[in-house]
Amino acid sequence: MDGINNHQLTKKERKELKKKLRKEREENELKANDRNKTTKKIIKIGVAALILIFIGAFVIQTISVSTPDSRGSGTIKITPEVKDFGNVSVGQGTVSTSMEIINEGKGKLTLTGLKSSCMCTSAVVVIDGIESPVFGMHSNPVWSKSIEPGQKAQLKIFYDPAAHPDLRGAVTRIVSIYSNDPLNPEKIVRINVNQVS
């Protein structure tokens, strides 16, 4: 009789044990799901934080590149930026004009070269009475020279109407001045000419 009761209790215990195990399994699954949700949430927050860090770094980099630093940098100003030659003829020969380059920055302004938009136009820079090599559309020697804050230099531009002897009418040419000015690394000036016979 004891064997039968033990056998029945064992069945009962098994049933209870199965119930208990199922309940524990369900609780463990719920806990695992909660852990997975928490892990996913932490990962999302981490990814969002990394994105914000990268955006912040990009903004800081952009600001530091686009604005002069605390030590100061050169700032180029050219006056006038446009010069009108009026009527120019082939018989008159090459004509020239001057513009003033001023360093309005707090640091050195380093000029690194010039380039014209056409072979009829060339330019030089004069700093402290010393003239740079001649720059043109295709002739661009390696050269650089610095201008101190507040210092002035002279930009001389030459126009040769004989380069286009048959040309008549209004002409605009561009000269680009390259420098270390962080906001204006390529400063453009223009000359206007009315080429006549």
Per-residue pLDDT of the chain (197 residues; tens, 9 = 90+): 444 445 556 777 777 778 888 888 888 887 777 788 888 888 888 888 888 888 888 887 776 555 544 457 899 999 999 999 999 999 999 999 999 999 999 999 999 999 999 999 999 999 999 999 999 999 889 999 999 999 999 999 999 999 999 999 999 999 999 999 999 999 999 999 999 98
Q: How many helices (H) and strands (E) does the chain have?
A: 1, 10
Cβ contact 51:59 at 8 Å: no
Give the CA angle between residues 57, 60, 61 to the nearest 5°. 85
The superfamily in CATH containing domain 76-196 is Immunoglobulins (2.60.40.10)
- Residue 79 in tokens: 């006056």
